Amino acid sequence: MTSSTLPFAADFAQMHRAIDAVMPLRIVGQVTAASGLSIEAAGLSLPVGSLCRIDSFGGRQSLAEVIGFNGDRTLLMSLSATGGVARGDRVENLAAGPLMRCCEQLLGRVIDGMGRPIDGKGPLPMGQWRRVDGRGVACLDRTSIDKPIATSVRAIDAISTCGMGQRMGIFSGPGVGKSTLLSQIAKHTSADVSVVALIGERGREVVEFIQHNLGEAGMKRCAMVVSTSDDAPLLRVRAARVACTVAEFFRDRGLNVLLLMDSLTRLCHAQRQIGLAAREPPATKGFPPSVFALLPEIMERAGRTATGSITGFYTVLVEGDDFNEPIPDAVKGISDGHVWLSRPLANRGHFPAIDILQSISRVRGSVATAEQVKQALRVMSLHAAWRDIEDLVSIGAYVPGINVEHDLACQARSRIEMFLRQDSRSPTTLEQAFVQLGELTVWIDQLEKVIRSQAAKPVGSARAPDGAQAGGNAAGRPAVKAAAR
């Protein structure tokens, strides 16, 4: 197959999948019972995932989806409120699978979990039909991740460098700066297109994210999918799949896509409601097995192919700051790395509150040079050394001159923290992040030479450089001047 026929082949495959989702027969059933979030219907022989319409008294109509079976009864869950549904209501099939239309005009628009625009800018043009419940790229069809992607966040780009097609988890408790970090990445990323999915968010936060965090400039190359906390659980789960479908559409157009999903935790809560309504047995801490099957299904849809790439950043809201909860633990095992947002750092006004010692990128060695990795490890090593003696320094019990590495960590602490702090309105490019990392490590090497030369002098003549103290005041700047001389 020549390269000129590839677009036609891709379109034909999409049309073939759309035809598979069409129901050639009209199947009509009847509501027999409703309990909680689930609805039972008789005479409705439809596959799981089928979309149905319920016609209620007074001309009221509601959409529902098949979620399972119980004997000869079909279990459905409404995509809206179940108020008004009564026994004997007519249930009719609409489609055998969830579909949506995708087009390039999705950029700059906000859509809901059904793919319908909700931003008041009018309808979207007719586009390409795509199944929402698609699967991830086959493992042998993926290409290696060997190109870095810029997030504009220095602590991520320089220390935990990410690659195109990687899947990263962002773990944080509430109020630690997760939304601000996401908006900065979406607005200033080096990817061609950003797709943002807000799953289970408060309605107030959606407007704030669009107007204040992203802004008009950020929305120009961003497509947003929104399903707030008051939406039906099925709609929240469907919104996550719609976001993946939109990202795949742009990837198949040869673009590098950044997919930001906030949050996986609320997505799992929605799936838990669906699973319990479908009479699944609760397993780990009340989560049914379908929750842990949904996580890899969503996250495996990101990746790099010969055509384009989808880089996924998925936030995980950690309840009670316990990172060993079932959902964070499962996401850590699926993702290609994670960014840890620390509450103690946020409480000290350190933003972004990224704990570089708890964060990791499993593809850093493939997308960064050996020298850049060495520099990042040097900074992390000194930061870890400072953590070891931080309590001693705080109570005044630390004695300098015993361990050179600890003395270096004390005096370099302020400079390293200055490097890790960053205003969200001051993005850095990937090249700038590596240049600043190199400058920091050169400064550290000069400071180390001064400390070692002072340690090698006789005890009576040994003294710290002027202005340099055990607590690392001014980050040892006088020592750097001495090293420069």
**pLDDT reported for residue 484:** 36
**pLDDT reported for residue 446:** 95
Is residue 241 a contact partner of residue 218, using CB atoms and an 8 Å limit? no
**pLDDT reported for residue 38:** 87
Burial label, 292 (beta-carbon count in 10 A; 0-12, 13-18, 19+): middle
Hey, what amino acid is at 85? V
Q: Could you tell me the two tokens for 447?
A: 């400071």
SS (H, E, C) 62-97: EEEEEEEEECCEEEEEECCCCCCCCCCCEEEEEECC
Alpha helices in 202-322 (DSSP H): 203-208, 215-219, 233-251, 264-277, 289-299
Burial 433-444 (b: 16+ CB within 10 A, else e): bbeebeebbebb
Q: Could you tell me the two tokens for 267?
A: 């997505």
User: Which DSSP letter does residue 211 get?
Assistant: I
Is residue 26 a contact partner of residue 66, using CB atoms and an 8 Å limit? no
Hey, what amino acid is at 450? V
* DSSP-assigned beta bridge partners for residue 261: 197, 314
CA distance 95 to 448: 68
Q: Could you tell me the two tokens for 13?
A: 């495959």
Tens place of pLDDT per residue across the chain (485 aa) = 444 444 445 556 656 655 665 656 788 899 999 888 889 999 888 888 888 999 988 778 888 999 888 888 999 998 877 778 899 999 998 887 788 899 999 999 999 999 999 999 999 988 888 889 888 888 888 999 999 999 999 999 999 999 999 999 999 988 888 888 998 999 999 999 999 999 998 888 898 888 888 888 889 899 999 999 999 999 999 999 999 999 999 999 999 999 999 989 999 999 999 999 888 998 888 899 999 999 999 999 999 999 999 999 999 988 776 778 899 999 999 999 999 999 999 999 999 999 999 999 999 999 999 999 999 999 999 999 999 999 999 999 999 988 999 999 999 999 999 999 999 889 999 999 999 999 999 999 999 999 998 877 765 544 444 434 444 443 333 343 433 33
CA distance 138 to 238: 22
CA distance 474 to 406: 16
Tokens 């409703």, residue?
34
CA distance 445 to 433: 18
**pLDDT reported for residue 479:** 42
* DSSP-assigned beta bridge partners for residue 256: 309
**pLDDT reported for residue 16:** 64
**pLDDT reported for residue 46:** 87
Burial 69-105 (b: 16+ CB within 10 A, else e): beeebbbbbbbeebeebeeebebebebbbbbbbbeee
CA distance 396 to 60: 73
Hey, what amino acid is at 186? A
Residue 414's CB is within 10 A of a number of other CB atoms, namely 16
Q: At 382, which helix (H) or strand (E)?
A: helix 370-394
Is residue 294 a contact partner of residue 271, using CB atoms and an 8 Å limit? yes
Is residue 303 a contact partner of residue 137, using CB atoms and an 8 Å limit? yes
Q: Work out whether the CA dihedral 138, 140, 145, 147 comes out positive or negative.
A: negative
Q: What's the predicted TM-score (pTM) here? A: 0.86
